[in-house]
Structure formats: structure tokens, C-alpha cells
């Protein structure tokens, strides 16, 4: 049997590392043909050696001693990444770069007709229908890696879209699920990074604390599965065992349960029925499970309501949501604004009229940049008033 060839973009991050750990034990079936990182050169070198990867890219530095890579093909900066995507043949790309900087490489995968296991939700939120139309025309399959969407994808395939009334996305509620509104004002970055159930990169962990991550996921689900906001629900499920559900028109609910471990959704997306996967995560012990569900609180986590609004308004709203949120989260990480202002920054940026969407990737970046500039003004106004 020929090995399935994989390219991993963002191989040094949380998703990339989990993928590599799982693929390490599946070397008979999978081969890693290309990898990228941004600045973590030493990890990139180690991974390239360990998995004998022939194509290696570092996007965030251009003063690198190329002799370190011996006879491997070595690519530098974003232009090198796009070239690597164009030149290296593979069966699927795991897109695990974080944030909006992944958009160009996601589009490049589509242009070079490469199927994508897509972890980077920002590509979907910003690329929207444009991304999916281009993928369809290029014959490219996009397999969601986000655990909720991986679950929804599997459930929709199993039960048929026509019989479904709504998608129910679960959320852990993050570290501040039980905090009072007034207490949210004093939380620190360290507090925000203490996620109760998932171990992830810094940006997405802060997003989980504000519920912006769930907002991005609501938008992601609306584009992926073509559902409007009235047919997407969010429910808080603190144990992160049920990874989303579908509510059928006949009243039934179907769910998928597994431990909170990204190995399963990553491998489902990469594998796509190529081999029979075994023991990717440990089986659940029912008798020790205690599963609870609760409503989310719009007052303490207002950003989620704004995300639902973006699904209704579409156009450039999802792009503006993402741009404003990236700026606000970075300002919080840098200590420029307190935690509770992240959602206020996003809300204020969404007050502008974003009804005109983008018709190409440059248009997406223009809208994104405009939202970021506005968000920076809001942040600066707050800093000046302090």
C-alpha cells in the first residue's frame, strides 16, 4: 500500500505537535513530505530529522544558515511557503498555522489543487463562501479539524443534512465560566491561559476564555455546513466530552463522545477513511462520566452574541470580527487592555457598516486591515484615558 503523503503547515504548534505524535506510530501508512514553522528553528530541524522530511520552510526569519538543512529543500519566508505548497506533491495538507496569517497559504493549497485538513478556523471565518466556491471549482476537499466541526461533519454525513433541524456546538465555558461579571475585570493573562479541559496555543486559549473561540466556531459552522444563525445553537458543556450534537427534525439528538484530545479530529481529517484508525484516543469509561450542560450567559460573554450577528449580516462582518478580535487579544496579552474590554473592542468595531464583503483575497485583507486599524484606535483611546 502506498503511503499517504502529508504536508504540515505550523508543525511546531499545539495542533502540529499532536499530529506528529500520532503520526509517529503510523509511519507504515503516512509519510510527511513537507513541514513549516515560523520562528522555532530548532524544533523545525529536530522534526525534519526525526521524520526524514525533505521539504522544510521557516516563514518568520530570513537570516538562516541554510547549511543546517543539509541536502533538504529549504524555503524561507511566506513567499517560500507559497512556493513549497505549489511545488511539493502531497495527498493532503494539514493547515495548522495560527491566525489570519494562514489565509494566503490556505488559498495557495486550493490553487494548487491540494486537499486540506483545516485546523485554522480564521481561514474559514475570513475566506467564507469565496474560499468554499474556489475549493469546489478546484475539486479540493476541505476536512474540518476543529473538534466540534469534525464531529458535526461526521454526524451530518451519517444522518443526512435534510433531516437535521439544527447544529448544537458545545463549549467548555473556559476558565471563567463561574466568574461574576465584576470579577472578570481583574483577571490576568495567566488566569486566562488556565484552560480547564484543552491544552492549546495562546491565542485560541484566550479566545476560549472570552468565548470568542465559540463565536469564530459559530461563523465557521455557518460557512462549512451552510446553516443560518437560527439553526446553530451553543451549549456550555464543562467536561468537553460531547464534541457537539445534531438536533433532528424528528426531535432526536445525536452526539459524538470522546476524551478532549485533538488527536482524533486531526487524524479523522488527515486520514479520511484511508486506513482503519485504531486506539487514537483511549475509550471512555462510562461509569466515571458525569456530563452536564448549561446555557451560556450573554451578559458576561457578549462577544458570542456579536458572532451570531455576524452570521446574520455576513458580508464583511465575519472578517471585521476576526480582525478586531486579533487586535484586542494581542492588546490584552501585551497588558494594554483588561480582559473584559476584548469584547467591547470587537463590539465597537462591528458598529461600522461592514455589509460589503470581499470578492477576492486582497479584498479580504483590505477589510481585515481596516478592522484592525479601527480596533487599534479603540485600544489607544482606552490606553489614553487611563
Distance CA 140, CA 194 (A): 37
Query: Does the footprint of ligand NDP cover residue 37 (CB under 6 A)?
Result: yes
How many Å apart are CA 151 and CA 268, to the nearest integer?
Answer: 10
Between residue 71 and residue 100, which ones bind ligand NDP under the rule CB under 6 A? 96-98
CA–CA dist 65, 80 (Å, integer): 15
C-alpha 80/C-alpha 76 separation (Å) is 5
Q: Residue 90: which of 142, 22, 31, 144 has the closest Cα? A: 31
**Residue 98 site contact among Mg ion, ligand NDP, none (CB < 5 to 8 Å, cut-off depends on kind):** ligand NDP
Contact 69, 53 (CB under 8 A): no
Sheet architecture: strand order including 253-257: 232-236, 164-171, 242-248, 253-257
The set of residues, in sequence order, having a beta carbon less than 8 Å from that of 342 and lying 6+ positions away, is 206, 210, 212, 303, 325, 328, 329, 331, 332
User: What is the C-alpha to C-alpha distance for residues 36 and 53, in angstroms, rounded to an integer?
Assistant: 11
Smallest distance from the beta carbon of 382 to ligand NDP, in angstroms? 26
Among 22, 30, 38, 211, binds ligand NDP (CB under 6 A): 38
Shortest spacing between CB 204 and Mg ion, in angstroms: 8
Contacting ligand NDP (CB under 6 A), which of 7, 15, 82, 156? 15
**Nearest distance from residue 148's CB to Mg ion, in Å?**
5
**Strand-strand pairing, 142-144 and 164-171:** unpaired
Query: Of 7-15, 151-159, 222-230, 373-381, which part binds ligand NDP (CB under 6 A)?
Result: 7-15
d(C-alpha 333, C-alpha 368), whole Å? 20
84 binds, among Mg ion, ligand NDP, none (CB under 5 to 8 A by kind): none
Among 171, 204, 269, 304, binds ligand NDP (CB under 6 A): 204
Q: How far is residue 363 CA from its own chain's centroid?
A: 21
Smallest separation, CB 102 to ligand NDP (Å): 6
The cell for 342 is 476584548
> Among ligand NDP, Mg ion, none, what does residue 121 contact (CB within 5–8 Å per kind)?
ligand NDP
**Piece of the chain touching ligand NDP by CB under 6 A; list 45-53, 120-128, 276-284, 293-301:** 120-128
User: Is 146 one of the binding residues for Mg ion (CB under 5 A)?
Assistant: yes
- Taking a C-beta distance cutoff of 8 angstroms, is the pair 16, 98 a contact? no
Name the residue nearer to ligand NDP (CB basis): 115 or 208. Answer: 208
Minimum distance between the CB of residue 244 and Mg ion, rounded to whole angstroms? 9
Residue 35 or 378 with smaller CB distance to ligand NDP: 35
Binding residues for ligand NDP, per CB under 6 A? Answer: 10-16, 37-40, 59, 96-98, 101, 119-122, 146, 198, 200-201, 204, 262
- Site of interaction with Mg ion (CB under 5 A): 146-148
Amino acid at each position: 500500500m502506498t503511503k499517504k503523503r502529508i504536508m504540515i503547515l505550523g508543525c511546531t504548534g499545539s495542533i502540529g505537535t499532536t499530529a506528529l505524535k500520532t503520526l509517529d506510530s503510523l509511519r507504515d501508512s503516512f509519510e510527511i513530505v513537507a513541514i513549516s514553522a515560523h520562528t522555532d528553528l530548532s524544533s523545525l530541524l529536530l522534526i525534519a530529522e526525526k521524520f526524514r522530511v525533505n521539504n522544510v520552510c521557516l516563514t518568520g526569519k530570513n537570516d538562516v544558515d541554510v547549511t543546517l538543512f543539509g541536502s533538504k529543500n529549504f524555503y524561507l519566508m511566506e513567499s517560500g511557503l507559497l512556493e513549497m505548497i505549489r511545488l511539493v506533491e502531497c495527498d493532503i495538507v494539514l493547515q495548522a498555522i495560527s491566525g489570519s496569517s494562514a489565509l494566503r497559504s490556505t488559498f495557495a493549497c486550493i490553487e494548487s489543487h491540494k486537499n486540506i485538513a483545516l485546523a485554522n478556523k480564521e481561514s474559514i471565518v475570513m475566506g467564507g463562501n469565496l474560499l468554499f466556491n474556489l475549493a469546489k471549482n478546484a475539486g479540493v476537499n476541505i476536512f474540518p479539524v476543529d473538534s466540534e466541526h469534525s464531529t458535526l461533519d461526521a454526524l451530518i454525513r451519517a444522518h443526512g443534512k435534510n433531516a437535521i433541524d439544527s447544529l448544537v456546538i458545545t463549549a467548555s465555558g473556559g476558565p471563567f465560566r463561574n466568574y461574576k461579571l465584576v470579577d472578570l475585570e481583574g483577571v490576568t493573562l495567566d488566569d486566562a491561559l488556565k484552560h480547564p479541559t484543552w491544552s492549546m496555543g495562546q491565542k485560541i486559549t484566550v479566545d476560549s476564555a472570552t468565548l470568542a473561540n465559540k463565536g469564530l466556531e459559530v461563523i465557521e459552522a455557518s460557512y462549512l455546513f451552510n446553516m443560518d444563525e437560527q439553526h446553530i445553537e451553543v451549549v456550555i458543556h464543562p467536561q468537553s466530552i460531547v464534541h457537539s450534537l445534531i438536533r433532528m427534525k424528528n426531535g432526536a439528538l445525536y452526539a459524538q463522545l470522546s476524551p478532549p484530545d485533538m488527536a482524533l479530529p486531526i487524524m479523522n481529517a488527515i486520514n479520511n477513511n484511508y486506513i482503519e484508525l485504531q486506539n487514537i484516543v483511549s475509550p471512555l469509561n462510562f461509569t466515571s462520566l458525569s456530563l452536564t450542560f448549561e446555557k451560556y450567559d450573554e451578559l458576561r460573554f457578549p462577544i458570542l452574541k456579536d458572532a451570531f450577528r455576524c452570521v446574520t449580516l455576513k458580508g464583511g462582518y465575519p472578517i471585521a470580527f476576526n480582525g478586531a478580535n486579533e487586535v484586542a487579544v494581542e492588546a490584552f496579552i501585551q497588558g494594554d487592555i483588561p480582559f473584559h474590554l476584548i469584547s467591547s473592542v470587537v463590539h465597537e468595531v462591528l458598529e461600522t457598516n461592514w455589509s460589503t464583503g470581499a470578492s477576492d483575497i486582497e479584498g479580504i485583507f483590505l477589510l481585515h486591515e481596516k478592522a484592525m486599524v479601527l480596533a487599534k484606535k479603540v485600544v489607544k483611546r482606552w490606553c489614553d484615558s487611563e
